Amino acid sequence: MRPESEEACIFCSDCVTACPKSLRPQHLFLAFDQPERSAELGLSECIECTLCDQICPSELPLTESFKRMKANQRIIAQAAQTAEATEQRFLRRETRIQTAAATLKVRPKPKDALALIAQIKGGSGS
């Protein structure tokens, strides 16, 4: 959840000037619910120095937002990793089941067994 702020960004770009990593904090702030966009803007490069917070005339909680965005991205990455591991486990299971089904020897029913024995006996005497 995005941290609350009473004011909106006025795009003064003071935060851009203050950022030691030359990021665009105002654009990162607006990309809160857009993980792909925030990654493009370099969210992972933010060192959370709070200089953008200190200079922002709107007193936006920029650094807190960036921390939450990073936490959300970690959760998304972990969920994707878990999903991938689950899929791989499922595929291995399916392979085991298919292999077992292909090598499974089915015991014939008694009447089929008798017919098979009769066929073998009849074929060997010829």
DSSP per residue, 19-30: -TT---HHHHHH
Average pLDDT over residues 110-115: 85
- Residue 126's pLDDT is 47
In a domain, 5, yes or no: no
In a domain, 88, yes or no: yes
For the entire predicted model, the pTM comes to: 0.69
In a domain, 79, yes or no: yes
In a domain, 82, yes or no: yes
pLDDT tens-digit profile of 33-62? 999 999 999 999 999 999 999 999 999 999
In a domain, 6, yes or no: no
Q: Residue written as tokens 């010829």? A: 126
> Containing domain of residue 45, as a range?
14-124
pLDDT tens-digit profile of 60-91? 999 999 999 999 999 999 999 999 999 999 99
In a domain, 21, yes or no: yes
- Cα 61 to chain centroid distance, Å, stands at 27
In a domain, 112, yes or no: yes
Average pLDDT over residues 12-31: 96
Give me the percent of the chain exceeding a pLDDT of 70: 97
In a domain, 49, yes or no: yes
Greater pLDDT, 43 or 1: 43
In the chain, the number of structural domains is: 1
